[in-house]
Structure 1
């Protein structure tokens, strides 16, 4: 099996390179190479160290990839996940102090009363490759719809963990602060609630909520250079959004939207409303975003500070260049030649970008 995999990777590299950066007519700023293949839907990835990526598969498995050999070591001790439609094992991120604490954070769809709820957990990898698992917050996001679970994880530089929850297919949830659906949640690293969260102590709101009015946020990242928290979410038919997330703010869904109803084509809500935060960027038509990073590496000097997101429906890697005020000033689309749904992405210390597609392949982008 390992021989077959190696042959595949060599052939795939030979096939892909001519249609990428080595073809000057295409003017691609990167070389793309496959790292490994034969996986399922890789929902999240993060680097354990310089040589190994930890990843999740939506179907409920997690493993570690050696980025030099492409070999996968599977982890044990994962919980039961609700692997239906958009549910499953979702994001994975290492704690900022991972080298000392050993904590790895996960989000997943936890089975509950015939459906599932988005849940934040953390775990440590034991010597036998088994995870010592601990649920931190089982959200109040109940729904019998198998959609819009979210969910991505981000850490700030003040000891907090953020994660996103979709509206679970019930639009009114996103404006109801008595549940977690349609929100960005902020916790201390141990899962407790920070005292300065915006709704702490309010009878008509949950303490964990940081922002609300979101439809289905599938990208979340904290920019340590600018101290900004960025989110990207699915709109309905059109109207995907990039948002700059601020404490206690309402991002409008479904009262405000730039999208339309799937079947009738009529507008969803209003396009603007006082007191609700405007998106930094709107995609019409929808790209169906998934995964988000702020590029901070040295490999691609011209990409510093840009946002990169995967695109599922329009099948590409999406770049948004930002100015110093956090406004979107330009957009580029890469990897369209692959014609694959880009699900998750991360970067190594050198600044090379790693992209996973729903074809079960993990690719590496490096400079020419």
Structure 2
């Protein structure tokens, strides 16, 4: 990846880390650390709430290996097996009990260039009655231009045959198509009442004026879409009655959101997105909200200290992130997030866990309050001694064990368990 959001780590901070397997504290070089992040207060370190989950001991186990740039993880309900996407276009079914990996037939043809390919995976919330599996992916038109797609098919596991997605078809295309191989966004999650939320990047539009695609509500780029399970615009979306706006929009003004998570306590949809030079954000997404990109940002232009735009607090027509990494901090280029609600690590229950690519660790954030008024505090990083670009994270429903997918050409899916 050569585009800035998946930039090379600037290793600038020497920090002793805690919470590693066995409770051992090791010195580790960790650039782009969230300690330089900001929750919007003058001093994010002042009056931070105590961290009851700081001294949790854990171990890391390899579940399966040999994946090529795995991107998405999703557990089958009450089954124990795990769906894994690989960016070149493969979908696999993994049995965590013994590491068995089976290929799943029927995945779509994808545009596997730049940041494109087969991306996220989600399972219908009523899977037992409706065994649909949803994939997000980049695909091209006849002119070679690409767009973020959402598709679904029914997962067939019966009869002793190899698993397959039957009758897979695209159900939504985030238009317009663009001649770019970057910024597809492409995380998917089911929220309250079965609504499907999908993030779409700005497709690397570098026209940073008010006419930027992320500020143009007539298209579906730089946005969060809220869809029905069939891919239609949700009937309660904010702009369904506006003839000048795309009816699938839920929020807009985003750059490249590569993490989405539904908070169990509130049903609110949160997401993490890449900034330009730093300026990465965690957002509590609101219906109809404008999150500012690129007319408000905490980022700088690549290779400079020049702000892309005024900060969010300098405008009254945008929603500020609940946590961000300002220019000069090193940033937190994110990918994959989940609110932890499992049994294995009760001290982390309610925390937001988010992967970071360049900084190569799994971030843990405590959250106090709700919505845009929430206080988000980053805690000691997890897995920061591995040199792993963290692409995706998931919680196994029965055990509460954490699973992570590592972004590499020959990568593992790993499991975090109590020591």
Question: Aligned partners of 1:215 and 1:309: how far apart in 2?
Answer: 17
Give 1:22's aligned residue: 22
User: What secondary structure, in the 3-state scheme, does the structure 2 residue paired with 1:141 have?
Assistant: strand
1:367 equivalent to 2:414? Answer no
Question: Aligned partners of 2:177 and 2:379: how far apart in 1?
Answer: 36
1:339 equivalent to 2:387? Answer yes
Q: Deviations over 1:15-35 (max 9, x none)?
A: xxxx94125445662111111
Q: Which runs of 5+ in 1 are unaligned?
A: 1-18
Give 1:8's aligned residue: none
Aligned counterpart in structure 2 of residue 43 of structure 1, from 62, 67, 71? 71
Question: Aligned partners of 1:262 and 1:35: how far apart in 2?
Answer: 38
1:71 equivalent to 2:119? Answer no
Cα–Cα, structure 1 residues 64 and 116, in superposed 2: closer, same or farther, change >3 Å?
Answer: same
1:358 equivalent to 2:393? Answer no
Q: Which has the higher contact order (CA 8 A, sep 6+)?
A: 2
User: What secondary structure, in the 3-state scheme, does the structure 2 residue paired with 1:22 have?
Assistant: helix
User: What secondary structure, in the 3-state scheme, does the structure 2 residue paired with 1:269 have?
Assistant: coil
Give 1:14's aligned residue: none
Q: CA deviation at 1:181?
A: 0.6
Q: Deviations over 1:249-293 (max 9, x none)?
A: 100000011011113331101112112001001023222100010
User: What secondary structure, in the 3-state scheme, does the structure 1 residue paired with 2:304 have?
Assistant: coil
Q: CA deviation at 1:169?
A: 0.6
Question: Aligned partners of 1:263 and 1:141: how far apart in 2?
Answer: 29
The range that moved more, 327-336 or 58-67, is 327-336
Question: Aligned partners of 2:192 and 2:218: how far apart in 1?
Answer: 28
Aligned counterpart in structure 2 of residue 215 of structure 1, from 255, 261, 277? 255
2:67–2:412 contact (8 Å) kept in structure 1: yes
1:130 equivalent to 2:164? Answer yes
Alignment of 1:1-368 (within 5 A): 20-26=20-26, 29-48=57-76, 49-112=78-141, 113-126=143-156, 127=158, 128=161, 129-132=163-166, 133-171=168-206, 172-272=212-312, 273-283=315-325, 284-325=329-370, 326-349=374-397, 350-359=399-408, 360-368=411-419
User: What secondary structure, in the 3-state scheme, does the structure 1 residue paired with 2:213 have?
Assistant: helix
2:363–2:378 contact (8 Å) kept in structure 1: no
User: What secondary structure, in the 3-state scheme, does the structure 2 residue paired with 1:244 have?
Assistant: strand
What is the TM-score when the length of structure 2 is the normalising length?
A: 0.81
Q: Which runs of 5+ in 2 are unaligned?
A: 1-18, 27-54, 207-211
Question: Aligned partners of 1:23 and 1:139: how far apart in 2?
Answer: 45
User: What secondary structure, in the 3-state scheme, does the structure 2 residue paired with 1:37 have?
Assistant: strand
Question: Aligned partners of 2:294 and 2:379: how far apart in 1?
Answer: 26
The CA RMSD measured in Å over matched residues stands at 1.5
Q: Deviations over 1:29-57 (max 9, x none)?
A: 21111111111111000111443101100
The range that moved more, 188-197 or 235-244, is 188-197
Question: Aligned partners of 2:256 and 2:266: how far apart in 1?
Answer: 25
Cα–Cα, structure 1 residues 25 and 288, in superposed 2: closer, same or farther, change >3 Å?
Answer: closer
Length, aligned pairs only: 350
Question: Aligned partners of 2:234 and 2:95: how far apart in 1?
Answer: 37
What is the TM-score when the length of structure 1 is the normalising length?
A: 0.92
Question: Aligned partners of 1:288 and 1:268: how far apart in 2?
Answer: 17
2:120–2:135 contact (8 Å) kept in structure 1: yes
Cα–Cα, structure 1 residues 329 and 263, in superposed 2: closer, same or farther, change >3 Å?
Answer: closer
Q: CA deviation at 1:142?
A: 1.8
Question: Aligned partners of 1:29 and 1:204: how far apart in 2?
Answer: 53
Q: Deviations over 1:178-201 (max 9, x none)?
A: 111100000111112222211112
Question: Aligned partners of 1:330 and 1:118: how far apart in 2?
Answer: 31
Question: Aligned partners of 1:320 and 1:205: how far apart in 2?
Answer: 35
Q: CA deviation at 1:124?
A: 1.1
Q: Deviations over 1:165-187 (max 9, x none)?
A: 00001151100111111000001
User: What secondary structure, in the 3-state scheme, does the structure 1 residue paired with 2:84 have?
Assistant: strand
